[in-house]
Amino acid sequence: MKNRITVIDYKMGNICSVLNALTYLGYSASVSSDCREILDSNVLILPGVGSFHRAMMTLCQTGLDRAIVEAVIDKGSKILGICLGMQLLAQSSTEDGKTRGLGLIPANVERFKQDGLNGLKVPHIGFNQVTSESDSILFKDLPSQVDFYFVHSYRILPAGLPGKAAHCCHGETFLAAYEWDNVFATQFHPEKSQTNGLKLLKNFLLEVSPEK
């Protein structure tokens, strides 16, 4: 079956930048909020900016939450969550009150703790160094320490997670990227991270043939 790339639209994603990056790499992707199209796709990208609580309300009201989980768990579709999209893959978040997530990453999302920041500001904005594992799929052929662009106030701590984790430090060490079977995620924005980000997106799409 031909790979179909779908960027999930729930009205809170940085969709244009993601599509521009995919087009630059030679890939064609559809944008959809239709559950049937999500289930018919074997490559999903879940971008996002804004409130976890509001985003999950939208996903639940539209049935997209069930469609995403079914596509990933039952059908084996690959998914890449970006920024808020990564956090939505987690079990829950404390943003705007505790809210259940999609449960594809066995961890919880919490705000940076002010007493651990050593004077650094929140939100964490700008390029920062990410340290990855040597056999990572996302970071294949990238240096083990490389810069990516972040903008976020909430994070996942990396302790105890299965799969492969990449780390970043903003006062404390947090989960910068994650991969476990067909679940992939980045807290940073690869679509805004220039050459390094384009390479990471290409690595994610490694088994997908570019548009001819």
DSSP string of 48-115, one letter each residue: --S-HHHHHHHHHHHTHHHHHHIIIIIS--EEEEETHHHHHTEEEE-TTS-EE---SEEEEEEEPPGG
Give yes or no for a contact between 170 and 159, defined as CB atoms under 8 angstroms apart: no
Q: Spot the catalytic one: 70, 83, 172, 179.
A: 83
Which letter does DSSP use for residue 191 in this model?
G
Q: Where are the domains of the chain?
A: 5-204
- The answer for residues whose C-beta is within 8 angstroms of residue 208's C-beta and 6 or more apart is 3, 5, 27, 43
User: Which residue in this structure is represented by tokens 């930048």?
Assistant: 17
Residue positions counted in the chain: 212
Give yes or no for a contact between 102 and 68, defined as CB atoms under 8 angstroms apart: yes
Question: pLDDT band for position 212 (50/70/90)?
Answer: very low
0.85 surpassed by pTM: yes
Q: What is the CATH number of domain 5-204?
A: 3.40.50.880
Q: Is 189 a catalytic residue?
A: yes
pLDDT digits over 28-62, tens only?
A: 999 999 999 999 999 999 999 999 999 999 999 99
Q: What kind and span of H or E run contains 33?
A: none
Task: Name the token pair of 41.
Answer: 């796709």
pLDDT value at residue 2: 65
pLDDT digits over 73-93, tens only?
A: 999 999 999 999 999 999 999
Q: Is 83 a catalytic residue?
A: yes
Amino acid present at 21: A
Q: Spot the catalytic one: 152, 170, 179, 191.
A: 191
The overall average pLDDT reported for the chain is: 95
Q: Is the pLDDT of residue 211 over 70?
A: no
Q: Is the pLDDT of residue 117 over 90?
A: no
Q: Spot the catalytic one: 124, 152, 170, 189.
A: 189
Mean pLDDT on 102-118? 92
Q: Is 16 a catalytic residue?
A: no
